[in-house]
């Protein structure tokens, strides 16, 4: 990296902006946010966000493809892996993507400095998105930044190879990121209908990412009547590795919170296997006009807690602002814990310690039955001893109870049967 934060291998295409220093710290009390659009899908979404009024959020495009990076409208651009790809794309090869990620690690360390929150926007299933985004997430984690990733998943008709690569990347990202928010293209296509124009479908994906980034940015940068800040967000995402719950709902003031809650329930991001159905740590943020009633806020939080929460941590906030006059917006964020079974580790340990005593008792019963011969009494004792030797299945002794490893895809005549029929065939289901 040179003095202005530009990778040496990207001098010809990267322009971080005059006087920009990626390692510069933010003023005290101010949250500094950086967003990296990684790969083709990530850069498209980041370019869409450039039209949003997001204050001083740093938008950085990252790619191996010199031509695509040059055409990107973002001012800050970071070319990675030039020595690996010679300025071309990774060609959907994850192994080449991993080699690119290795060369980009030190560059990401420099770009991440000074950030409090890092958004990573990427498409999974190809060569660049998964490995390079993992490298970026690890760099952000090393700096202590809160890391939130929006990951676009491939269409089912793109083939099982891309689906499998996307699943592997998604699992790897969960280990490095505080929150991973998957956006399955199949769900977005189903929502819009099979006859929707291609550009409209991709624009819908970009719009969901824009709404998600905007809602979290608003939470971090706007002072509310009931305030939430970076500390609250860290509490929600305090454990890496679990699934994320994320949903957005909006309505006009005429419909009120009831309509916004119904819109939240219909949010497509809440209805995929990649998302948690309930959260151990839940955050509810409501934005509305100045006339929003306290009873409406109380009802909203209560309903969301009952529908999406467990008996765990819940943080809530509300912003009343003239900019939201005429509408109500609800943002729900949450995470699950992956080691809930460890809460009972002491009880499980005591059971294991007691097992030798049980085995000793079973041996005594068996011996007594053998010594007394073939009488009816000895048969009863022998049957009792046999029953005692039957093994109990300790379902609650597994620390990963309720979590299942992915099996191989069930592919028949080129179709993945694990994908619901209405998604495979692009059939739209009306709510």
Per-residue pLDDT tens, the chain, 431 aa: give them.
433 333 444 443 443 333 344 444 445 468 899 999 998 888 988 888 888 777 778 999 999 988 888 888 888 999 998 888 888 888 778 888 889 889 888 899 999 999 999 999 999 988 888 899 999 999 999 999 999 999 988 888 888 888 888 888 888 998 889 889 888 888 777 777 677 787 787 788 788 888 888 888 888 887 777 778 888 888 888 778 778 888 899 888 666 788 888 898 888 778 777 677 788 888 888 888 888 888 888 888 888 888 888 776 788 888 887 777 778 889 998 888 765 434 434 444 444 454 454 454 444 444 544 444 455 566 566 666 655 555 544 444 444 444 444 455 566 655 666 666 756 665 655 55
Could you give the CA distance from residue 184 to residue 154 in angstroms, rounded to a whole number?
7
Q: Does the predicted model carry a pTM greater than 0.85?
A: no
CA dist 33 and 49 (Å) reads: 13
**CATH number listed for the domain at residues 21-221:** 3.40.50.1440
Distance CA 196, CA 192 (A): 6
Tell the CATH superfamily of the 230-338 domain.
Tubulin/FtsZ, GTPase domain (3.40.50.1440)
Query: Could you tell me where in the chain the CATH 3.40.50.1440 domains are found?
Result: 21-221, 230-338
Q: What is the pLDDT of residue 412?
A: 61
pLDDT at 72: 86
- Is residue 7 a contact partner of residue 79, using CB atoms and an 8 Å limit? yes
pLDDT at 140: 93
């Amino acid at each position: 990296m040179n003095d202005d934060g530009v990778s040496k291998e990207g001098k010809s295409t990267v322009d971080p902006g005059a006087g920009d220093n990626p390692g510069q710290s933010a003023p005290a009390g101010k949250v500094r946010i950086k967003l990296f659009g990684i790969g083709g899908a990530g850069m498209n979404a980041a370019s869409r966000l450039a039209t949003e009024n997001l204050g001083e959020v740093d938008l950085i495009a990252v790619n191996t493809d010199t031509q695509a990076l040059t055409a990107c409208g973002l001012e800050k651009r970071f070319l990675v892996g030039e020595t690996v790809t010679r300025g071309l794309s990774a060609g959907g090869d994850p192994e080449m993507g991993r080699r690119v990620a290795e060369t980009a690690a030190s560059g990401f360390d420099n770009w991440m400095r000074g950030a409090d929150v890092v958004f990573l926007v990427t498409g999974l299933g190809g060569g660049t998105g998964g490995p390079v985004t993992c490298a970026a997430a690890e760099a952000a984690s090393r700096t202590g930044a809160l890391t939130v990733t929006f990951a676009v998943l491939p269409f089912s008709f793109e083939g099982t190879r891309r689906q499998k690569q996307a699943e592997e990347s998604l699992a790897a990202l969960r280990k490095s990121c505080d929150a991973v928010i998957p956006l399955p293209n199949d769900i977005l296509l189903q929502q819009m209908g099979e006859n929707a124009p291609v550009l409209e479908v991709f624009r819908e994906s970009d719009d969901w990412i824009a709404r998600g980034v905007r809602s979290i940015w608003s939470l971090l940068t706007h002072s509310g009547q009931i305030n939430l800040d970076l500390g609250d967000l860290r509490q929600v995402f305090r454990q890496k590795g679990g699934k994320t719950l994320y949903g957005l709902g909006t309505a006009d003031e005429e419909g009120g919170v009831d309509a916004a809650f119904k819109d939240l329930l219909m949010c497509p991001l809440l209805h995929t296997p990649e998302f948690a159905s309930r959260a151990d740590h839940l955050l509810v943020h409501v934005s509305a006009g100045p006339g929003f009633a306290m009873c409406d806020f109380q009802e909203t939080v209560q309903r969301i807690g009952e529908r999406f929460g467990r008996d765990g941590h819940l943080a809530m906030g509300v912003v009343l602002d003239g900019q939201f006059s005429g509408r109500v917006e609800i943002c729900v964020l949450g995470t699950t814990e992956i080691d809930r079974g460890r809460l009972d580790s002491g009880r499980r340990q005591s059971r294991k310690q007691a097992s030798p005593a049980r085995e000793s008792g079973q041996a005594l019963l068996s011996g007594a039955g053998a010594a007394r011969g073939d009488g009816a009494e000895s048969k009863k004792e022998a049957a009792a001893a046999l029953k005692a030797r039957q093994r109990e299945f300790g379902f609650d002794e597994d620390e990963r109870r309720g979590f299942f490893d992915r099996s191989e895809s069930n592919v028949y005549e080129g179709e993945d049967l694990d994908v619901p029929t209405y998604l495979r065939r692009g059939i739209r289901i009306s709510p």
